[in-house]
A and B are shown apart, each in its own frame.
Chain A
Amino acid sequence: MFSRQICSNSYVHTRGDISATMSSPTSTPGGRKRGRSSNPATPSSEGPTSPPSQRRKGQDSSNGDLMPMPTSPATDMLSPAAPQDTSLFSSPRPSVPPNEVDMSSPLMYGTPSSRVEGTPRSGVRGTPARQRPDLGGFLQRFIDPTSKEDENAGLDLNEPLYMQKLEEISVVGDPVLSVNCLHVQSFDAELYRQLICYPQEVIPTFDMAVNELFFERFPDSILEYQIQVRPYNALKTRNMRSLNPEDIDQLITISGMVIRTSQLIPEMQEAFFQCQVCAYSTRVEVDRGRIAEPAVCRHCNTTHSLALVHNRSVFSDKQMIKIQESPEDMPAGQTPHTTVVYGHNDLVDKVQPGDRINITGIYRAVPMRVSPIQSSVKSVYKTHIDAIHFRKTDEKRLHGLDEDAEQKLFTEDRVQTLKELAAKPDVYERLSSALAPSIYEHEDIKKGILLQLFGGSRKDFSQTGRGNFRAEVNILLCGDPGTSKSQLLQYVFNLVPRGQYTSGKGSSAVGLTAYVMKDPETRQLVLQTGALVLSDNGICCIDEFDKMSDSTRSVLHEVMEQQTLSIAKAGIICQLNARTAVLAAANPIESQWNPKKTTIENIQLPHTLLSRFDLIFLMLDPQDEAYDRRLAHHLVSLYYQSEEQMEEEFLDMAVLRDYIAYARTYINPRLSEEASQALIEAYVDMRKIGSGRGMVSAYPRQLESLIRLAEAHAKVRFSEKVETIDVEEAKRLHREALKQSATDPRTGFVDISILTTGMSATARKRKEEVAQALKKLIQAKGKTPAMKYQQLLDDLRGQSETAITRELFDEALRALADEDYLTVTGKTVRLLA
């Protein structure tokens, strides 16, 4: 929604007298309907003028553009298909040479580059087998009841899919029909094979079939130009790295990231020549990138009198787009590959640098000439892809979950292995021990992180006004330095596909959220996203959380509960999704953990932030002999065991990664009846623990945490239902974490208010008592308006039975000051009247 709005018509062409008839596309439907390449008024194009890219291929060279326009397009070209007609669907040009057919195909868009001589394979390959008559059958009958694509939202899944889409076209008037190649494959594998191998020939016939069908159904509809069929999702190739010479001239789909787009390039399609002597004009088509300039005027026979008139020539839009392999697809230790893509006409400016896209197109290779004079050539081909269809994979991340990007392709075998693994009774333990095997023990912490990796189920309560519930589990690790916290964070960051790693010391609020930048080229404002937005649907690892500045930390409040990020900067006001799980690590303020202090006191983080963490773990040095021994064994074995031995013991990182990806995509557990009961009980129990002593030991946030953890645990088991065992484990883990972080060092009880109010209930009570005692002491002194601070402290100490620290005294003074009883100025305490 913040993509730069580059006007797609930035190339404005001055036109001659023809422009009057051309500028309004709707008025010229019939005459130009073969000029498929004319730029449709895509929503993004704001310019009032339509680009000068009309092609009138197939019309005679006389002034076709001034002909009166028939309003019905169906008359001259699209007579109904006669099934027995073996030619190409009784097209108006019964025996068209292949080149002519090409001209109406979306893949050509009249690109001369794609017709340059010697495309390596095209000469070798013959034209495909003859037309399949059930092309129309596919369109009329194909039903996809399991469709999940959002393009099909609102369509009746039990009706023929593409007929509904055609209906949509007749209503909306955007003559583009995207066809999922998987549908073609499931309908007719042979047709699919032909489509993949001979796209240049098959797609035009698709076009014709669609148009015939369309105008048969909706004879009155008026379209700007003919419907274009745009196949996508060809499974031929997924990865840029696997492109090879076999793929030349075939329909391929690859994924990647746009790294650069060129300026719009007007490409001449048809040159307009006018004789300088007699003003006779003629048109010459561009053939393979060249224009044959007529040497003699046919009208007056003058030689070399014809001059090119630029603004009456016909141009089409073209754009070069460079895409680069997505980082996930790359083998380690290699640099990413890039590929050049050409987008034509309305595909121009559809994508911006930084977009992740799936692109379907035809792979081409063109020989390079060293120079026009030399006859020897470089033996290298230039390769590029003529784009037919773009599909942004990250577009939907702004509004919802993107199934598509998450959907890794799991082979049958892989799914089987994963399911077998899930069926094992100890899968939970196995996975947690596979996590960061180089880090010793800390079993519960690893389990917590494992559950974080899986996450809870997503729930949407936006109808009832509550908005989205957080499904991500946030974890804080605190503890002594040198207890491999950073290492755990590094491991997690390396494990998850969309992880970000930042250090509290080095990151600013801007670096975490987003910032607005002026693009130096276009002078437009661009929103650059920070770590939190980038790790949407992933995990954001924040090291040295305690060293973060307060203002930076404050942006986390919104992210960690609402899972959104609001930005109001430089005129851009927006809310971005940041459904990220936060894994943070903090060091105690005194560099060593002080067991006599509470968590809050040790790490000095605002409790408002702490309460947003589902689990807070302490990573302390246990200092016990048995532990030391095991630790030593673990470390020593790290140093001498061979790689293979290690791998036998632990799960492969790749398996773990796939397991998590699979569970996150396919498993969405719901609470069972018993589980909800168990959760209620657990919550009530937690509330009860404290109520006896007047303390609150659980808040609704804790209940939500429990639910999330239970769901995550069910995901680990690949179970669609949350059962009692999940709740049990969630309870256990939650209790463990609480035991570590929310134990009141003074009483030894678990007290959640340490985390929610920053102070344990006993401490609060104690403060209250001291304040009262102090008040009494002052009242006993009679009417002295001011007292010495130190004296008062000594007096109080003398009177009290328990030890009174200076901090406690200060707090008591502050409490009394809040009551407007006294004020403290420097070393004196003044009573207020």
Chain B
Amino acid sequence: MMPSTHDWINCPLGVVEGMFAASQNNPNSGWEAKAVEFFKNQLKEKDAHTWVPSLNDVPLHYLKPNSLVKFRCFIQDMFDPEFFMGVYETVDPSTKAKVLRCGKYKDVTECGVDFNSSNTVTAERQTFYCVPIPGENPWVKESYASTSQARVVPSTSYAPTRQKRSYEEDDDDMDTQPQKQREPHAGPQSPTEHHGNGDCKRQETEAPSNQTASASHLDLNFPLPGEKGPSCLVKVYEDWESFKLNDLLEVYGILSVNPALSALADEKDTSSSIQDPTECMETAEEQRVHSPPASLVPRLHMLYARPLPHNNPLLPCTTVEDNSAFLSSSLSEMASVRAELLAYFTHILLGDALAAEYLILHLISNVYTRRDVLPLGKFTLNLSGCPTAASYTERFYQIIQQLVPSSYYLGMSLQNMNQMRLVPKKDYVANRLVSGALQLARNTSLFLDETQLEQGQLDTTGVRNVTALGNLISWQKVDYDFNYHQMEFPCNINVLIVSEGRSLLPSDCQIHLQSQVTAPQLEEYLSSIHMHPQSSSQLNKFRIYLCMARQLDYNISDEMTKSVEEDFVDMRKDDPQSVSAEDLHRMLVVARLLSLSLGQTSLSRDSWLRAKHIDMLRRSRMEQHKCVNGNEP
């Protein structure tokens, strides 16, 4: 079966219009629901979704306008709802024949609209401004791209749109084009293949980025600096209340790149002065933001969207419960993978096994619920005592980057803290939410490098940024700045702080790194970490492991509850000063994460004891350190 022969991919509007026409004799046919259902069913078919080309890895100019495409994205902003002509009537100027047309999933009407027709139906839709998932790591992008089986041929519409894309050059994309049409892989895990075509892939994925770079006068509003990729205005036709800001979605929709949609300021000047009076009220900025050139920010009319629980391409994209086969097969392996991962981390953390253990716990932590204001399950780790030599922290981050689907490195230098925009802010002139580095998707790893911080003055922005980071860590929320008021957006971000001494930011758990490597050898040791990169299959195992462990369900039996209570009472009896409610909170989280990291879905006596044990070890190390340094608070 050749995927490219599918009309529903190449010409979805034809399907929609066919259904619309058929419904005209039958007013209550509910054709709209049927149309959506049709596409859903088509996509349900095995592998069907891989035939749909993705905006993430195919340059925009290779995609056929008005074809079905998918987009793995992050809702960065929500614009105001708009009213459009759901159904309208056109009049042929010569024959005066009236025809009813469907305006759904389209931006522009046909010619000769009769505005006074009584058959016009006004409908409502919502626009989301979507960007690629912020901080998505290269291995994720590559892996997604390699599973795609979409056949993308430079379409005939490619030539006419060319002059519209005046910014970019036609580079050597044509040469890499055949890569797209190669045979589907047997499995993404196969390491050689994966590496073999990595380079070609990169060239392709960079194609759209050239575009954005050269058109930098138009800020595409990515949360993180230096991000690349297309952004998209997604038009949502139903259920838009169910989507939330910062959600991860895979949108299947009809691509619309009609050049008439672009409203550039210079065009406005040349147009006639007789204008719709409502239009001249918008500022130029607002125009630019809300109607950017379609060649840069395409419109996507959503047919179907799948919320993504994670963006790990190696895991099936459903919740774990629905995938019990996959679950049971990997549960048994988890303990062994964990051991390997522990060894790997121990090696990286200069031979410190305890810190490696905590690092695993941190990486699988997840805010699984909130009790009134209290987020449960967060586990912010402060790794103190990191060597500043040989850019250790950067190397460390590169390793994290290889393991988690999305991550961001934030060097907490004075300059960064004073200048960076961390908290999103509403720009009322352009009427959009200007993004900040803390607008991140669920389970993104935020790597805070405090070793970059030097002495100096924090200005107002700096103080605000540090407060925002503190709030993020303590309450897992970010207060977006709406100028007249603030609005709280809950988040779920794994924050890892590396520092020399104790961090100035709060954390759930601090562990001081005990290096087994002496200072003179450090340089050599560090360079050797990168000398032996883990094999790709090994990495993939780790990647699956970390995502799996995060998604497991967990409970505590009544029996264990009792025994934990007993333990707590006993500990308090011995030394009430040293064990507080906060310690119990932390130990419960550690025990939870420890169990999950071993693939156990309920707390066992052993895990509890082990959690207590490692917490004790960690504390005694802190005491020691305090004695040595004497300057800890």
Interface set of A (CB-CB < 8 Å, partner B): 111-113, 116-118, 120-121, 123-124, 243-245, 248, 257, 259-260, 262, 265, 267, 289-290, 320, 322, 324, 327, 330-340, 353-354, 365-372, 374-384, 436-438, 440, 482-484, 486-487, 490-491, 494, 503, 506, 621, 623, 625, 628-629, 631-633, 635-640, 643, 646, 653
Contacts and interface: CB of A to CB of B under 8 A. Distances in A.
B428 A381 contact: no
A629 B565 contact: yes
Contacts of A365: 83, 122
B279 interface: yes
User: Quick one: which of A333, A375, A440 has the most chain B CB within 10 A?
Assistant: A333
A47 B614 CA distance: 77
Given A378-B261, A490-B475, A262 B88 contact: no
A117 to B, nearest CB: 6
A628 B572 contact: yes
Interface residues of B, number: 84
4 A-B pairs with least C-beta separation:
A118-B115, A333-B244, A438-B371, A632-B568
Contacts of A336: 482, 487
B431 interface: yes
Contacts of A335: 77-78, 245, 426, 433
B276 interface: yes
Contacts of B83: 120, 245, 248, 365, 380-381, 383
B187 interface: no
B28 interface: no
Nearest to A637: B561
Interface of B is mostly: mixed
B544 interface: no
Nearest to A490: B373
Interface stretch (B103-111, B348-356, B443-451, B516-524): B103-111
Contacts of B80: 337-339
Contacts of B271: 371-372
B277 A113 contact: yes
A374 B484 contact: no
Contact of A631 (B109, B281, B581, B592): B581
Contacts of B117: 123
B245 A334 contact: yes
Given A340-B278, A629-B568, A632-B568, 14 more contacts: A121-B122, A123-B116, A257-B484, A289-B274, A333-B246, A336-B487, A337-B80, A376-B109, A376-B113, A378-B107, A381-B122, A483-B581, A631-B568, A632-B569
Interface SS majority for chain A: mixed
Nearest to B572: A628
Which of A113, A244, A353, A377 has most B Cβ within 10 Å? Answer: A377
Contacts of B124: 244-245
Given A366-B276, A375-B111, A490-B373, A635 B85 contact: no
Contact of A116 (B107, B120, B276, B376): B276
Nearest to B433: A335
A379 B109 contact: yes
B277 A120 contact: no
Given A116-B276, A369-B276, A381 B84 contact: yes
Given A635-B584, A637-B561, A124 B592 contact: no
B582 interface: yes
Contacts of A324: 482
Contact of B122 (A112, A245, A384, A639): A245
A491 B483 contact: no
B112 interface: yes
Contacts of B426: 335
A374 to B, nearest CB: 7
Contacts of B33: none
A640 B103 contact: no
Contacts of A436: 372-373
B278 A384 contact: yes
Interface string B551-594: 00011100001001100110011001000111011001100100
A379 B108 contact: yes
A600 to B, nearest CB: 24
Nearest to B278: A382
A374 B503 CA distance: 62
B581 A639 contact: no
A623 B576 CA distance: 6
Contacts of A320: 281
B556 A636 contact: yes
B373 A354 contact: no
Contacts of B568: 628-629, 631-632
Nearest to B81: A337
A376 B115 CA distance: 12
B542 to A, nearest CB: 27
